[in-house]
Amino acid sequence: MTDRLKDKVALVIGASRGIGKAIAQRFKEEGAKLVLADFEEETGRAAAKEIGADFVRTDISKLDDAVAAVGLALERHGRLDIIVQNAGIYPWQLIENTSPDDWDNVMAVNLRGCFNAARAALTPMKKQGAGRILFTSSITGPHVTSPGHGHYAASKAGINGFIRSAALEFSSYGITVNGVEPGNILTEAIQLHRSAAFIKNMEDAIPLARLGSPRDVANAFLFLASDDASYVTGTTIIVDGGQLLPEGADFKVLPPSD
C-alpha cells in the first residue's frame, strides 16, 4: 500500500463482483473513500460490507440513477474525485437472432451507461476543477470480435469513441477521461458459465498463457485514477496478456533444444 488514492473519493459502478469489485478493493487498499453502485442489490451490499464502503442500488442505464449515485458520494464525503463505470452486459446472440429491444438493452447499459456516468459526475468535478472519469471498455469491439457479440462489440467500440470526445470536452475543467480494455479475464461468470475446455482454448491463444485476473485489470484502473496519470487523457490501456499480438495461431517460440 502506497496511499496513491489517499482521501480520494471514488464511485465504482458495477462493483458487486468480478472486475468492478477488484477495482473497488484495489482503490480501498490505496486509501480511497468508496461508494459502490450496482443493479444487483444483494451482492452489491455484500461487496460493500466486505470492502468497507457505502452502497447504492443503481440502474446505470437511467440518468436519474447515475445522478443519485453521485449524490450519495457527495452526501457522504463532500466531493467526487473518481468515477468508474464498469457495469456491462454481454448476452450471447447472433445478429440474425437479435431483436431491436435486445440491441437497445445492451446499448442502454454499456454505452448510454457511460454517458450517464459522465454527465452525472461532470457537475461536481467542474466545480472542483479536477476529476477522473474511467470506463471499462474491451478488446472486443475496438480490435477483435467473435460470433454472437455484435451488440456488445458495437457498444464497446462506442465507448472508445466517447472517451476521446469526453476527454477533449472536459480537458479545460481539469478532468481526465480514460478507459481500460480487458482481454479474457477469469471472473466468476467465466468460471460458472464456461467449460474447462473453453478456458484452455482461450489460454492457448494468449502469449502469456493464462487468463487475466480481475486484479490485473484493477491495477490499470489504479494507475489511471492516480496522480501518476495526471497527463494521460483520451486513451485506453489494453490488459490482455498479449492476445492481440499474434498474426496467427502459430506464435509460440520454443526454447532451443540442447
Question: Does 173 qualify as catalytic in the annotation?
Answer: no
pLDDT tens track for 140-183: 999 999 999 999 999 999 999 999 999 999 999 999 999 999 99
pTM: predicted TM-score of the whole model, two decimal places: 0.95
Report residue 40: phi and psi, to 5°.
-85, 105
Interval 34-73: pLDDT, tens? 999 999 999 999 999 999 999 999 999 999 999 999 999 9
Where residue 24 falls (left for φ over 0; alpha for ψ -120 to 50; beta otherwise) is: alpha
* Residue in 90, 152, 173, 231 annotated catalytic: 152
Residue 238: strand, helix, or coil:
strand
pLDDT at 252: 82
Confidence label for 239 from pLDDT (cuts 50, 70 and 90): very high
Query: What is the pLDDT, as a whole number, of residue 238?
Result: 98
Domains of the chain by start residue, with CATH: 9-237 (3.40.50.720)
Tell me what the mean pLDDT of segment 226-250 comes to: 95
- Rg (Cα) of the chain, in Å, rounded? 18
